Amino acid sequence: EDKVVQSPLSLVVHEGDTVTLNCSYEVTNFRSLLWYKQEKKAPTFLFMLTSSGIEKKSGRLSSILDKKELFSILNITATQTGDSAVYLCAAPSGGTSYGKLTFGQGTILTVHP
Amino acid sequence: DGGITQSPKYLFRKEGQNVTLSCEQNLNHDAMYWYRQDPGQGLRLIYYSQIVNDFQKGDIAEGYSVSREKKESFPLTVTSAQKNPTAFYLCASSPLPRTFPGGGSSTEAFFGQGTRLTVV
């Protein structure tokens, strides 16, 4: 059975701090790993990672994949209160390249002013 | 604007009643999905469809049914057989996978705003 595990489950920081969110996975026929941000309702797409060691960046967010260790991290530097959200990690599962995703439990990030 | 529209946003149901949640997309995506989210848990897949008139069960399909008569629409019915239907329901769609230079292919899912179902 495919599995995605995130840690920590929750994190409380102050504005300006840097945070690292973790995601480990066990997925047959691995194709990609995705990160989403969920603020109130719809998860919004952040990154898709397919190759080991290649960092993807978007502003203060960055992510990298380690296919040998079956691991990915999401970094957020200089956090702001607007970064408060649930961050979800997911991987396509079941041997399909479509978006049939297995999700982790999510990390609840709270950024205090 | 292109997107995925779920309705209603909030839904209340009495025990023993069937209810249908609507999901429409105008992104011309082939695949559509229904996920359920409970507090403290990630998203769990209920049903998915990769093509019109075809759909497959996900991990927690019991007590749910779907149809895919049109590419744009993928309604979910929560039946009275679902023992614990109170949850947040998310519909998603995805385009055809794209192939990467190193081989392999994948795609991401795009989500609607969700329907919060409460059984009273």
The pLDDT value recorded for residue B40 is 74
The pLDDT value recorded for residue B105 is 67
Chain B residue closest in CA terms to A101 = B45
How far apart, in Å, do the first and last CA atoms of chain B sit? 35
Given CA atoms B97, B98, B103, B106 in this order, what sign does their dihedral have? Answer: negative
A105: region left, alpha or beta (phi > 0 left; psi from -120 to 50 alpha): alpha
Distance from CA of B111 to the nearest CA of A (A): 6
Q: pLDDT band for position B95 (50/70/90)?
A: confident
- Chain B residues near residue A32 by CB distance under 8 angstroms: 104, 106
- Chain B residues near residue A98 by CB distance under 8 angstroms: 31, 48, 50, 94, 97, 107
Q: pLDDT band for position A71 (50/70/90)?
A: very high
Strand partners, B66: B76
- Chain A residues near residue B93 by CB distance under 8 angstroms: 99
Distance between CA atoms of A59 and B65, rounded to whole angstroms?
A: 41
Chain A residue closest in CA terms to B6 = A42
pLDDT in tens, B10-57: 999 888 899 999 999 999 999 999 999 998 778 999 999 988 999 999
> Cβ of A41 and B110 within 8 Å?
no
- Chain B residues near residue A50 by CB distance under 8 angstroms: 100, 102, 104, 106
Q: pLDDT band for position B107 (50/70/90)?
A: confident
Interface test with B, best of A5, A72, A101, A108 (most B CBs within 10 A): A101
